[in-house]
Amino acid sequence: MIRSTHPAHGFVRGKRLTGGGALLWLICLMALALPISVAAHGGGSSGSHAGIPIPSLTHGEMAVIDPYYGRIVALAVTATDTDEAFRRVLNFAQIQHSYCLWGVMPGAISDEESPFNECSHAYLAAAKAVLLRMRTMKDEMVAAGDLVSEIDATLIRNNLSLILCRFSGESFNTADLIRPRLSDIVLHAKSLTTILLALLAVAVGMWSAARALRTKPLATE
């Protein structure tokens, strides 16, 4: 924590942050907000296979299933007839979703060049696996079946099928998390711009709040 050197001053009423101090805060915020591995990552086929294998999705299927992710997970977390494998795949889907910054990055689903595209494949593939598993559960099969019917109808209109299609591309594994690479984010204009704008907004908000708290005591005196 950055504090004023004057013993009577706390953090909020202390001296203004220097340029170096503000930069340090931005770096800390970035590290907390972006669960990104700087090291290179591979796909499901290159990592550990000690976990549970998860079939991949095609690029088109991913776009169709994405709007249903929240409903799938909401149903899955309330499921009662579960086992360890089900819970691990669900946990993988939720962790991968956070690594993808909760699906808010532009182009994460549609842009194959996005550094968040691979991890989007991963969490949506896991969500699909969870959904299909719930179709076999006594208490969840009706609700899961309704979701499958909705998704399947959309996929059929796009000449795809959730149940019958053969999945192509990369497969995944619950023991091998997919993390966007920082170097790829820097080279992807949309992702980098979004992150920089978010950090700028946070910095402006913190500066405005600190200034308001510093001037408030003066106004009451």
Residue 109: predicted pLDDT: 85
Task: Please count the CA atoms within 13 angstroms of the CA of 201 that sit on its side-chain side.
Answer: 6
Q: What is the pLDDT of residues 39-97, one digit of tens each?
A: 333 343 344 457 899 987 877 788 889 999 999 999 999 998 899 999 999 999 999 99
Give the pLDDT band (50/70/90) at residue 176.
Answer: confident
Residue 199: predicted pLDDT: 77
Residue 196: predicted pLDDT: 76
Judged on CB neighbours under 10 Å (0-12, 13-18, 19+), 54 is buried
For residue 133, pLDDT beyond 50? yes
Mean pLDDT of the 131-141 span:
93
Q: Give the residue, 59 or 166, on which the prediction is more confident.
A: 59
Check: CB of residue 184 under 8 Å from CB of residue 119.
Answer: no
Residue 135: predicted pLDDT: 93
Give the pLDDT band (50/70/90) at residue 162.
Answer: low
Mean pLDDT of the 99-116 span:
85
Rounded to 10 degrees, what is the CA torsion of 112, 118, 122, 128?
A: 0
- Buried b / exposed e along 98-133 (16+ C-beta atoms within 10 A): ebbbebebebbbebeebbbbbbbbbbbbbbbbbbeb
Residue 73: predicted pLDDT: 97
Q: Which of 33-42, 133-142, 145-154 has the lowest mean pLDDT?
A: 33-42
CA distance 143 to 153: 16
Residue 189: predicted pLDDT: 64
For residue 33, pLDDT beyond 80? no
Mean pLDDT of the 190-218 span:
74
Residue 204: predicted pLDDT: 81
CA distance 145 to 34: 35
| Top-ranked range on mean pLDDT: pick from 12-21, 67-76, 180-189 | 67-76
